[in-house]
Amino acid sequence: MVDITIRGAGIFGLSIAWACLGQGATVRVIDPGGVGAGASGGLVGALAPHTPDQWNTKKQFQFDSLIAAETFWDEVEGVSGLSSGYGRTGRVQPLLDDRAVELARARAETAKTHWRDHATWEVHPVDQIAAWSPVSPTGLVVFDTLSARLHPAQACAALAKAIVARGGEIATEGDDEGQVIWATGWRGLLEMSEIFGRPVGNGVKGQSATLTYAAPDAPQLFVQGLHIVPHGDGTVAIGSTSEREFEDPAGTDTQTDDLIARARAGAPQLTDAPESKRWAGVRPRAISRAPILGAWPDRSGHYVANGGFKIGFGMAPGIASVMADLVLGGPDRIPSEFRFAP
């Protein structure tokens, strides 16, 4: 018997398993597809913060998780001996017009209040970003030092090995034992919608790609909605699309071609970088767009952790901590905006 069964070996399920092990629980993670088989096995890995204005609980939770990420991934890497690809390398965003410049400068001031001395959000001339810089019509960019990157598939593999090293189990099948946490991604959201008779969430397909280009210490770029993320393995990830309707969850098409073309136009240094890989998967999007966490109504001992659309890896350290506390009898620290209420 184990204390905790976790259904789903994506970033939420694995992170919660790691946190529960840290509190002394015995844990089994079950996923028929294996580790990182869904959206968590992707390419991009942009741990990018929300803007530091119009502050709210969701932004604070994400901020705290991003600050905790370095220690979280250091510990995982230390136990597993594998790299997660984590690096707090920052992010550069071109400012397209005078209105964008004005707004960015105002956010620089609110960042001092909300990010305090943990990170900065500053407006700089584009030529201060050295060779790795995006095209900017105003000649100005925002550079923030809170954004980080990791390699999603590598991070999941590192977590899985660390879990096993600490005595946890990872399996493709098995029975529910102890407390049960459902971290089953987009298909789980569809199943919950059927169970509760109302939309709980759905899946949004994303396509992405990597180019072979070595810039391991360079900041990520965010250019007109497109993430361009240099990784430590000599690739640059580009993504992603957001497709509400799709037939093939794992297929790539001309939309990936468009992503690559846009990346090369926004960051000309990638013009001749060869394509190395394409990927597509479906990300879980809750109706509220925030993660849904908490007890499963009418199922004693069952819990939900789902809906990490676009922000799952960035919020994982915080979500792992509050869910481990909840299921192991500690304080209930789940923000009201995230609480599951069908």
Tell me what pLDDT residue 193 has: 96
Q: State which residues of the chain have pLDDT below 50.
A: none
Tell me what pLDDT residue 341 has: 81
With left for phi above 0 and alpha for psi between -120 and 50, is residue 267 left, alpha or beta? beta
- Note whether 113 and 196 are within 8 A (CB): no
DSSP state of 43: S
> 102-116 burial string, b = 16+ CB within 10 Å, else e?
eebeebbeebeebbe
DSSP secondary structure letters along 1-41: --SEEEE--SHHHHHHHHHHHHTT--EEEE-TT-TT-SGGG
- Whole domain around residue 128: which residue ranges? 4-338
Tell me what pLDDT residue 3 has: 97
Give residue for tokens 């098409």: 253
Tell me what pLDDT residue 132 has: 82
DSSP state of 146: S
Tell me what pLDDT residue 149 has: 97
For the domain that residue 298 is a member of, what is the CATH number? 3.50.50.60
Enumerate the H helices of the chain as residue ranges.
11-22, 57-80, 98-114, 152-165, 185-196, 254-266, 312-327
Count of domains in the chain?
A: 1
Tell me what pLDDT residue 133 has: 84
